Amino acid sequence: MTDPAGSGPGSSPGPATARIRASVHYHLIDLVFGGPGDLLDPPDPPLPREDAGVAEAVGTAVRLTAGPHTGDIDMLVVSADRDPGPDPEYGDVVSVSVWAPGGPPSLIEWAGEAVHPLPPLPAGPGWYRVRYHIEDYDAAHEADVDAEEPVGRHLLQIWPQERTAPEAERITSAGAAYWLERRPPPAPPVR
C-alpha cells in the first residue's frame, strides 16, 4: 500500500520542490530550460510563442510576470512526473507549453543578476507544461518597493505533457486580467 504522497513501497518518487526568494524588476523573471544561453539563442526553426498573459513561453524559456514592479518574491517550484492539478488557494492560474532541451531549469532574474537552479526535469528533453499560480497580485503591485518582506505568493508547477494551447485557468486580479487582455493574437502556422 502507498501513502497519499506517493512515497510508500513500490511508488515513484514524489515531486521535487524548491523554495526560491528572487528579485523581480519591471515585474519580470524568466524560467529557462538548459541555461541562460537558451533564452538568447532559441532553436532553429523557432518554437511557437505561447502567451497566457502573465506567463509567455518564448523559445525554451517562460517569461513570468509578477505583481511587484521591483522587489523580492517568494516562489515554490514543483517538478512532477504528471499534472499535479491547480492549487485552489491561488487567485490567478495560467499554463503554457514549452520545449525543454533537457538541461536543468533555472529562474533567472532581470539582466542575469542571479540564477536560481531548480529541480531536474523528470522526463528529460521534450514538451513540458508550466502552470503559474499567483496570489495577491494586486496587493503586490501596490506594495512599497522597499518592503522588507515579499507580498503575495507564487507557485510554479512543471511536468511533461505534449504541447497544448495556452490557458488562463483562473483570473481574479485586475493585474493578471490586464496582461491577459494585452496579449497579441496568435501567429499564423508556419508552413
Residue 3 confidence class, pLDDT cut points 50, 70, 90? very low
Structural domain tally of the chain?
1
120 inside domain: yes
Higher pLDDT pick, 145 / 87: 87
Beta strands in the chain (DSSP E): 16-25, 28-33, 50-51, 55-58, 61-65, 70-79, 92-100, 105-108, 115-117, 126-135, 153-160, 167-170
The Cα 32–Cα 106 span in angstroms is 5
- Tell me the pLDDT of the chain averaged across its residues: 83
Q: How far apart are the first and last CA of the chain?
A: 51
Q: Which residue has the cell 483570473?
A: 171
Amino acid code (one letter) for 144: D
Considering only 31-45, 74-88, 170-184, which range has the smallest mean pLDDT?
A: 31-45
176 inside domain: yes
Q: Looking at residue 141, which CATH number applies to its domain? A: 2.60.34.30
Considering only 32-41, 96-105, 113-122, 173-182, which range has the smallest mean pLDDT?
A: 32-41
4 inside domain: no
Considering only 25-39, 65-79, 149-163, which range has the smallest mean pLDDT?
A: 25-39
Residue 9 confidence class, pLDDT cut points 50, 70, 90? very low
Higher pLDDT pick, 159 / 38: 159
Considering only 7-11, 99-103, 106-110, 119-123, which range has the smallest mean pLDDT?
A: 7-11
Q: What pLDDT shows up at residue 41? A: 47
151 inside domain: yes
Q: What pLDDT shows up at residue 178? A: 92
Confidence (pTM):
0.84
Helix (H) or strand (E) holding 182, with range, is helix 174-182
The Cα 8–Cα 158 span in angstroms is 23
Considering only 30-34, 110-114, 149-153, 181-185, which range has the smallest mean pLDDT?
A: 181-185
Domain of residue 113 covers 16-182
Q: Is the pLDDT of residue 60 over 90?
A: no
Residue 174 has φ and ψ, to the nearest 5°, of -65, -35
The Cα 112–Cα 51 span in angstroms is 22
Higher pLDDT pick, 10 / 46: 46
Higher pLDDT pick, 36 / 31: 31
Higher pLDDT pick, 182 / 96: 96
Amino acid code (one letter) for 21: R
Give the list of residues 6+ apart from residue 49 with CB closer than 8 angstroms, or none.
56, 57, 58, 187
Closest among 54, 127, 130 to 86, alpha carbons compared: 130
8 inside domain: no
11 inside domain: no
Cell of 56: 509567455
